Every structure is written in structure tokens, then in C-alpha cells.
Structure 1
Amino acid sequence: MLHFEWTQNLKSKTYKDALDIRKEVFVEEQQVPVSIEIDDLEDKTLHLVGYEKSIPVATARIYPMENGKYKVQRVAIRKVVREKKYGSILMQEIERYIRELGGKRLFLGAQNHAIGFYEKVGYTICGEEYEEAGILHHDMDKMIERDESRVEIEH
């Protein structure tokens, strides 16, 4: 079971935990340069950490865009817990929170090896393949706005 913490405070323990996971997954495992991993958007994004008991195991950051659109970035799960399927739980939490903020659409740049995962949680490819930090990606998106006009009312 995971519990989640959100922050925008770059001096918080939650943010430090997010960075630790990102460095482990992206910098150490995938060899992304730290200068690319930690960028000038850090103070403009929402940072999410999922904790198993008190141990940080999952993270993502969310960049608010225009017109109810949010970009999901830096999704990372520690290798030691990947078999627990925490990725889908993390994505559900992102959707829940962003929907509360009035978000309508989530957008992300998926590493090609992760496209199947994102498709399983409802994302569709919406762009051509591109390279970022030496890794091939595709843009994907998902509508999360509830369509209240389609709610069935039982009589």
C-alpha cells in the first residue's frame, strides 16, 4: 500500500525524496546526465512521492500548462519495488489530484519501452518518435475530465 505526498517546496523532505528516486532511476540506471534530469522547471512543477510505509519508492512531477492541460514528467519507480505494480497506482493518484485542480488532459513524453504501460492506464500516442537525453520517446495523452452530461441516473 502506498501513501502519497505532494509538494512545491524545493526545501522539503518530500522533494528531496523525489530527487533521490529520480537520480537512482534516471541518472544511475539510465545514464541521463544530472544537468538534464534536474532542470529549470523544478520550481514550476508539483512533485509527488509515493511511500511504502515510510520509504519513498515512486515519484513524478507535474507541470501545469494552459487550458486545463498538465504535463506528467519524471515518472520513476525504484527497481526494488517495480514488480509491485506501483506505477499504475501512482498514475491514478496523479489523475485524482489533477482532476481536483480542474485538470482536463494529461500529457507526457513516454520512453518507448514504457508505451505499453501507459496504454494500459489509458494513454494514447499523439506524436511522432523523438529522442531526448539519448532515449527514444513518444508523446502520449489522456483526457481526465469527467463528462457530467453522460452520467446515468437510475430511477
Structure 2
Amino acid sequence: MAAYIAAMDTVDKKITALLAEDARRSLADIGEAVGLSPSAVNERIRRLNASGAIKRFTVDADHAALGLGVTAFVLVGLDYDAGEEAFKAFAAAHPSVAECHHVTGGWSYLLKVRLADLGGVERFLGELKAQHFLARSETMIALSTAVERCFTPAEV
């Protein structure tokens, strides 16, 4: 698996970038862009998927249109008596957590959460407190989003 990821060539990177722009793009369209037949593109996508280089195909949704108009970033200082693995399991299972990053500095984790309203932020923080995960926290509310990407392809 990892051997194929390390051996990704410029064609694989270009295919990945094209799929990141539009995962519904046809094999023929991708093939035309990279100079391969649709069946060769399909084989490369299959190998990229099997290797883990492509994790999933997804939808870029408008969160506000889905009723999730508030994005908050929560810096978490873990109470390690609660257990780091339990915290990570909580974050992975919680439907409001879009991202969870282990970070350097004075904090343990950074969470990106999407919620309907500010009351949802308060309820989410209450859940973290009820689970005894927090030694301390700091929450920032995004006023707007200037740039957001699911994937930024390297120079291809």
C-alpha cells in the first residue's frame, strides 16, 4: 500500500487534483486531461483508492443551507484523567465535529465544529464538560470563511 503512495507520479497527482475539483468527473474527461484511456484512468483511481491515497469520494455541501450556519473552533486542554483515547472516540463519533487535530503548544487538541446556532455551541461545550474531558478550553466563532478547501493539490 504505502509503496504505491510513495511512487505516485505526476499523472496520479493530476488525477487526484481533478477528482478533488469534481469527484463526479467522467473517466473519459479525466483521461483526456492526463493523456490516458478511460480504462487506464479507472485502474489508477482503483489503485489510489486501494493504497489509501484517495480515502473517499464526498460532497462539498453548503453547511448554512443544511442548517449548520455556525462554525466554531474549540481549543481543548485535556483532563488526562478522562483518557485521551476516550476523547478521540468522542470526537470521531460526534456528528458536529468536522475536524479534530492534535496540536502543539499549550493546547491538546483543536476541534472544528459545525452547529445550527450559538446555543448548539453551548450545548456542545456542555457535552465536553459532562464527559470530564476538559481541563480548560477556548472557543472561537468564525464570522465568515474566506477560504476553505477539502484538498489542496501540490504542484502537478
Q: TM-score range by the shorter chain?
A: under 0.3
Quick check: which one's strand share is greater?
Answer: 1
TM-score normalised by structure 2 residue count: 0.28
Bigger radius of gyration: 2
